[in-house]
Chain A
Amino acid sequence: MKYSFLLFAASIFTFFSCVDSANESYDENARLPILGERAFVDGDTVYHTAPQFDFINQDSVNISPALFENRPYIVDYFFTTCPTICPRVKAEEIRVFDHFENRPELGFLSVSIDAGKDKVYKLKEYAEKLGVGTPRWHFVTGDEDHIYDIANDFFHIAQKDPDAPGGFDHDGRLILIDKNKHIRAFCDGTDGEQVDRFIKDVEKLLREK
C-alpha cells in the first residue's frame, strides 16, 4: 500500500514534468520601465541613454542616432558567419520584424561585431538573403573599437574571444530603445517565449503617448 502510493506520487511527478509549464501572466497595463543605471542631478533623475554611434549600413549610408530621431528601434549584435546563436536570433528577429510590418516608425539596427569580414557588400548580401532591409532594417559595421565601446553601453557582452565558436563570444539579446533613447526592454533572442513577450513589450511601447 505504502509503496503503491509512493509509486503513484512518482508517476504524477513524471506526468507533470512532461506537460508544458504554464505561461507567466503578462501585465498589459504596467508601464515599461526605463532600464540601466540612473543618476540624481539637482534632485532630478537622469536615466541611462543609448550611446552615440557612427556606423555605415548595407547601402553605404552613414547611420547615427539621428536616423532614429523620435522613433523607437531594436538593436542586436551579430556577425554574418556566426555558426552558433545568430541564425536563431535572426529567425526570431524576422518574426518581430514581420509582426510590426505596418509600423514603419519602428527601426531595426543589427550591428556586426566582425568588422574585419563583414564589409558593406557582405552585409548587403546577408540582408538580401534574409529578404529584409532598408529603410526599416539597417545592418551596420564601423570602426572595431567603436563597435565594442558602444556594445558595453547597450549592456551587451561583446568581446573578441578566440576560444568561442567563430572567434567571437556574444549574447543574442534584442534591445528595445524608445524615442527618447532610453532602453525599455530586452529579451534573449534565442528563446521564442521570451521573444513573444518582447513583442508585447514593443506593442506596449508603440501605444505610449
Chain B
Amino acid sequence: MLKNYSVKNNIALLLFVGSILMTMISISCTISSPNKQGENLYNQNCATCHGDEGEGLRNLYPPIANADYLQLHREELSCIIKNGMKHPIVVNGKDYHMPMPAATNLNAVEIHNILNFICNSWGNNLGYFTPKEVEAQLKKCQ
C-alpha cells in the first residue's frame, strides 16, 4: 500500500515537472521577441507594404530593415506613422514616392511599441523610445 502510494506520488511529480517544462517551452515560443506588442501591431498595420522582415517591396515600398532613413529622421518617426507621408523620400540612396497612408487608428502607446520594435529589429539599432519622447513628437506633428 505504502509502496503503491510512493510510486503514484513519483508519477505525479514527474507529470508535474513535465508540465512545467512544456509550458515553459510553449511560452518561449510565443514570447520570442521582447517587443511582442510592437511586433503584432507592425504585422497588422505595416507589414503588407514594408514586408514581414522590414524588407520593403522592390523599388515600390522602402525597406525599414537597415534603413538609414530611421537614423536620419528619428525625430519625425512618430508623426510619419500617425499621419502617413505624401512627399517622395530617399532611403539608402533610392527614391521612393508611393504615398504612405495615415494610421489614425493607432494611439501614442501603440506607436511607441511599433517604434521600439522596428528600431531594434532587422539590423536597426536605434535604442528605445520613451513614451514621453513619442508623445512630445506627436504634439509637434505638422
Contact = CB atoms under 8 A, between A and B. Distances in A.
Contacts of A4: 11-13, 15-16, 19
A199 to B, nearest CB: 19
5 contacts: A4-B15, A15-B23, A17-B26, A129-B60, A166-B101
A35 interface: no
Given A18-B30, A88-B48, A130-B57, A83 B16 contact: no
Nearest to A90: B57
Interface of A: 1, 4-5, 7-8, 10-12, 14-15, 17-18, 81, 83-88, 90-91, 94, 126, 128-131, 165-166
A7 B51 contact: no
A126 B60 contact: yes
A15 B22 contact: yes
B99 to A, nearest CB: 7
B74 interface: no
A170 B34 CA distance: 35
A84 B48 contact: yes
Contacts of A10: 19
A129 B58 contact: yes
B59 interface: yes
Interface of B: 8-9, 11-13, 15-16, 18-20, 22-23, 25-26, 29-30, 47-49, 51, 57-61, 98-99, 101
Contact of B59 (A1, A12, A91, A131): A131
Contact of A8 (B8, B15, B26, B29): B15
Given A4-B15, A94-B58, 15 more contacts: A1-B8, A7-B19, A11-B18, A11-B20, A15-B22, A15-B25, A15-B26, A18-B25, A81-B99, A83-B49, A87-B48, A90-B60, A91-B51, A130-B58, A131-B58
A11 B26 contact: yes
A11 B12 contact: no
A185 B49 CA distance: 26
A11 B26 CA distance: 8
A86 B60 CA distance: 12
Nearest to A91: B57
A7 B60 contact: no
